[in-house]
Amino acid sequence: MKVTLFAAVSVAISGANAAVGMWQQCGGINYTGDTTCVSGAMCYKYNDWYFQCIPATTTTSPSSTRSSSSSRQSSSTSTRSSSTSSRSTSTSTRTSSTTTTSPSATISPLHDIAVSKGKQYFGVAVDSNELANATYKVLLDDRHLWGQMTPGNKMKWDATEPSRNTFTYSDADALVVWAQGSGKEIRGHTLVWHNQLPSWLTNGGFNNATLVSILQNHVTNLVTHFSGKVKTWDVVNEIFEEDGSWRSSVFYNTIGEYFVDIAFRAAAAADPNVGLAANDYNLDYGGSKVTAYVNLVNRLKSRGVKITQIGSQSHLIVGSMPSYSTLVSNYNAFVATGVDVAITELDIRMTLPVTDALLAQQRKDYNTIIRACMAVPRCIGMTVWAYSDYYSWIPSVFSGEGAALPFDDQLKPKPAFYGIVDGLNGITN
């Protein structure tokens, strides 16, 4: 997709009769409302069709790059915000009214921008139920927005080997077929994790030799099945505690730390071309957990075990972010061991209810981590853990928290989305 750069942007600083609230629309073709923002805000032109009140103190350069758009951001936005229950109706209206352009043409193409700046992809986690939602799928299908997908659950052990040596791939295969059809590379997630294991495995009481063969069989089966389709596997997931010690799991408790070597070796043998990652959360703040992974990579390499990437999940909290320099230094610590790094499960949650101040902070926080990845050449890509708050895992796991993703539950881009766009373009919010 062609990305048109706006050299000049209309900016109207708020006056005494300010009327439009922060983050609300203040201009654009077909927009008929007030064009003056509340005090402290300025009316910022995202494209010909959509101007929004953003903090006047923002350091965003007015010359920031935006994707060109020629469709109906203003009309679709107002339609969308009008009613929750009419979502599907408004979407079909929107779709049918934009016969000459993609329905998502007003949304900056994150993947295309990331690639144009030297990254491999900008991606999104997906689950089977989301593919059944035609409304959600419109943006999900967009290969310019998302060029990579990670299955949220369907490649995990409980989904793929529900009873011993019986492998079920139909759900995962459907996700793979869809991803390939919509121009997305695939991250396999995940071969070995202490959670979402079938009970035959956790309660089996297997001795070391038997569990080693079960582990090898599982890894070999999955990697072989998806060979040529999965680009990189999360071979192990969340194997360390916060203090860098080994996490208790059926694998560690029975086999010892060599379960990691065994899994990586089996994966490499099954597909010599696939990328092999260790993935974890809370790698954003530095400290013992980062050191544990740096040491792990060095140990694996010293034993001749192939590992190509550290995945930093980055499930983060609005206003509690690591600094830009901490993020960059963590990524560089991984890269120094000879592996790539990727941001694999990004979301930045807030304590509900949503406020303008939290949305503004969330924009800055997304912007910070995206800029950090952009600053490290071997930070190869970024993946959000679903794109809309409607499908976020956060509210079900963190009581009273949510709104963690760049689109709201009506699929309207939030300030965070524009923070990502700016971050990809190296612009500080």
Ligand X SMILES: *[C@@H]1O[C@H](CO)[C@@H](O)[C@H](O)[C@H]1NC(C)=O
**345 in active site:** yes
Which one of 45, 66, 87, 289 is in contact with ligand X (CB under 6 A)?
Answer: 87
Residue 177 three-state SS: helix
Interface stretch with ligand X, choices 19-27, 101-109, 133-141, 304-312 (CB under 6 A)? 133-141
Site for ligand X contains 252 (CB under 6 A): no
- Each residue 325-364 as x (binds ligand X by CB under 6 A) or -, in order, gives ----------------------------------------
Which one of 4, 30, 163, 320 is in contact with ligand X (CB under 6 A)?
Answer: 30
Site for ligand X contains 29 (CB under 6 A): yes
Closest separation between CB of residue 206 and ligand X, Å? 11
Which one of 25, 388, 392, 429 is in contact with ligand X (CB under 6 A)?
Answer: 388
Which one of 113, 175, 212, 386 is in contact with ligand X (CB under 6 A)?
Answer: 212
Site for ligand X contains 216 (CB under 6 A): no
Site for ligand X contains 208 (CB under 6 A): yes
DSSP for 72-95? -HHHHHHHHHH-STTHHHHHHHHH
Find out whether 393 and 405 touch, Cβ atoms under 8 Å: no
Beta-sheet strand order (sheet of 25-27): 11-13, 41-47, 50-55, 25-27
Q: How would you classify the pairing of strands 41-47 and 25-27?
A: unpaired
Which one of 169, 258, 324, 398 is in contact with ligand X (CB under 6 A)?
Answer: 258
Catalytic residue among 161, 185, 238, 345: 345
Residues in the chain: 429
Which one of 116, 133, 217, 326 is in contact with ligand X (CB under 6 A)?
Answer: 133
Cβ atoms within 10 Å, residue 87: 18
Q: Which of 105, 109, 129 is nearest to 117 (CA)?
A: 109
Find out whether 118 and 377 touch, Cβ atoms under 8 Å: yes
Q: How many residues bind ligand X (CB under 6 A)?
A: 15
- What gap in Å lies between CA 281 and CA 382, rounded to an integer? 14
Cβ atoms within 10 Å, residue 428: 15
Site for ligand X contains 194 (CB under 6 A): no
Site for ligand X contains 213 (CB under 6 A): no
Q: Minimal CB distance to ligand X: which residue?
A: 390
Residue 374 three-state SS: helix
Cβ atoms within 10 Å, residue 211: 20
Site for ligand X contains 135 (CB under 6 A): yes
- What gap in Å lies between CA 127 and CA 123, rounded to an integer? 13
Site for ligand X contains 60 (CB under 6 A): no
Find out whether 300 and 342 touch, Cβ atoms under 8 Å: no
The residues assigned a catalytic role are 345
Interacting residues with ligand X (CB under 6 A): 29-30, 87, 133, 135-136, 208, 212, 255-256, 258, 388, 390, 409, 411
